[in-house]
Amino acid sequence: MQLIDTHTHIYLPEFDADRDEAVKRAVQSGVVKQLMPNIDIDSAFQMLLTENNYPGICYPMIGLHPTSVKEDYVSQLDKLENLTDSHKFYAIGEIGIDLYWDQSRLKEQVLVFRRQLAFALKAELPVVIHSRNSFFEVFKTLEEFKGSGLKGVFHAFTGSLQEAEKAIGLGFKLGIGGIVTFKNSGLDKVVGQSGLENIILETDSPYLAPVPHRGKRNESSYLCIINDKVAEILGSSKEETASGTYGNSVQLFGL
């Protein structure tokens, strides 16, 4: 049984003390590939170093995270896009809109999101969307690209069934992580109605650890817990869920 963690920040300082061990635990658990979302230009270099240290296991994305949209966003985007000339990336991400922490930069976040969506189309890469407290704004921007062939995933999906249907209708997968194991998250209904063909799995480590590790540091080896829960919801075997989400991930990211 093989799994792909489609969203892990394994390159962050939270793993500096035991990164080798964390990667080893993941592989031993059947998590054979880990996709790394980027945050900003500073995080990109640590991410690329991590890819270099774990070839064939860790795969990089490139993008400016919405909470990293500051006064220098144009310069940041220029530098990040230039990196694609010399390095292979597997997605543009994580990008999107975040209105949980700060709503004062909504206009700038939308501009940055739009530019990165356009760049993804040009680069023929999928996008990994961060949409915290911002489904309306994200969908409004995505509608501008309807029919363009844009594809990707709604990372850490926590929306309603209606929002899931809208995302799927626009050609996107749902990124299901540890939240699906939380009591009263409501994701069981969304997963049950959306179908395996529209789901990929992720941890978002070191964040959002699944039960029974909730509140502790998350890591890719815990993806097995998420896979088990999704299998339980869908009424399928763990092997079927692993195989289905593995295939979805390989196809989406061109692995």
Q: What is the CATH number of the domain that holds 171?
A: 3.20.20.140
What percentage of the chain carries pLDDT values higher than 90?
96
Cis peptide before 94 (omega within 30 of 0): yes
Q: Which two tokens stand for residue 159?
A: 């929306």
pTM of the model: 0.96
Q: CA 112 to CA 38: how far, in whole Å?
A: 14
Task: Kindly report the number of other CB atoms within 10 A of residue 196's CB atom.
Answer: 18
| Residue of 46, 65, 54, 22 lying closest to 216 (CA atoms) | 22
Range of the domain at 189: 3-253
The total domain count for the chain is 1
CA–CA distances in Å: residue 57 to residues 6, 20, 148: 11, 12, 31
Q: Which two tokens stand for residue 24?
A: 């080893």
Tens digit of each residue's pLDDT (9 = 90 or more) over 9-48: 999 999 999 999 999 999 999 999 999 999 999 999 999 9
To the nearest 10°, report the CA torsion of 213, 219, 222, 226: 90
Q: CA 191 to CA 151: how far, in whole Å?
A: 19
Tens digit of each residue's pLDDT (9 = 90 or more) over 117-174: 999 999 999 999 999 989 999 999 999 999 999 999 999 999 999 999 999 999 999 9
Q: Is 90 exceeded by the pLDDT of residue 101?
A: no
